Amino acid sequence: MGPEVSVWFTSDLHIGHRLCATIRGFIPECQSLPVNERRIESGVVDHDSELAGNWDAVVKPGDQVWVLGDISAGGTAAQLSALQWLSNRPGEKHLIAGNHDGVHPLHRNSHKWQPEYLKVFASVQTMARRKINGQNVLLSHFPYRGDHTDKDRYIQYRLRDEGLPLLHGHTHSREKYRAGLIGHNGAIIFRDSPTIHVGVDAWDLRPVHLDVIAAALLDVGQMPH
């Protein structure tokens, strides 16, 4: 028998993204851009190197990695650089595209990016359905609800909550998961299905193993033991 294959999930790498490198503590926020250009560039390099080291430390060449969007800040040069970074990482990589990925169909020229992304990713899609603990789980860049802004954006590109657990990115929150809850919004009763945020901001800049996801879903009581 061959070596055991592990499955990993991650999101919002934002390779080369100055703002994310700043928010994640690699660039001091108090320093201005024109005066400290060298320091800022060094911080971005440190940010990308930290992510690379964390990935390489756990992902084996035969493993499968689901990247739930936003590999960079967007733009041609940034995306090509991030794709090169990803091509240097071990594992069979699958992309669930996010709003910063030119390959997502919310962008008018998404079809032109398909060939570039498929040089690195084994598949590129806007959502996926997987089995975890024998139950269907959805994958999307976007959560059912919530954002890192005051108002939910990209509503037309989000999945509708019809009762399935969801793995997502996008929020840049430190919150790892939400349990399924019954709540009230005025006179409207709504049900939130369990969601797990796999973005690096919630997981110390590291990929999340399938076993961790499975345990979290069991903890919220949404899957059979």
148-192 pLDDT tens trace: 878 888 889 999 999 899 999 999 999 998 875 555 554 444 567
pLDDT band at 28 (very low <50, low <70, confident <90, very high): confident
Give the Cβ contact number of residue 100 at 10 Å.
22
Q: Are strands 166-168 and 195-197 parallel, antiparallel or unpaired?
A: parallel
39-71 pLDDT tens trace: 889 999 999 999 999 999 999 999 999 999 999
In CATH, the number for domain 7-219 is: 3.60.21.10
Give percent of the chain above pLDDT 70.
88
pLDDT computed for residue 167 by the predictor = 98
* Averaged pLDDT score across all residues of the chain: 90
The SS3 call for residue 128 is strand
Q: What are phi and psi of 59, to 5 degrees?
A: -90, 125
Q: Which helix (H) or strand (E) holds 167?
A: strand 166-168
- For 23, residues 6+ apart whose C-beta sits below 8 A from its C-beta are 172, 201
Residue that has been written with the tokens 């509708």 in this structure: 160
Mean pLDDT of 118-125: 99
**Does residue 144 register a pLDDT over 50?**
yes
CA distance 223 to 49: 37
pLDDT computed for residue 149 by the predictor = 79
pLDDT computed for residue 3 by the predictor = 73
Residue that has been written with the tokens 């009763």 in this structure: 189
pLDDT computed for residue 188 by the predictor = 42
pTM: predicted TM-score of the whole model, two decimal places: 0.90
CA distance 156 to 92: 30
Annotate 37-103 with DSSP letters as a single string: HHHHHHHHHHHHHHHHHHHHHH--TT-EEEE-S--SS-SHHHHHHHHHHHHTS-SEEEEE--TT-TT
pLDDT computed for residue 225 by the predictor = 35
pLDDT band at 146 (very low <50, low <70, confident <90, very high): confident
Q: Which helix (H) or strand (E) holds 140?
A: strand 135-140
The SS3 call for residue 204 is coil
| Spatial CA neighbour of 212 closest among 146, 169, 167, 148 | 167
Question: Could you state, in order of their start, the residue ranges of all structural domains in the chain?
Answer: 7-219
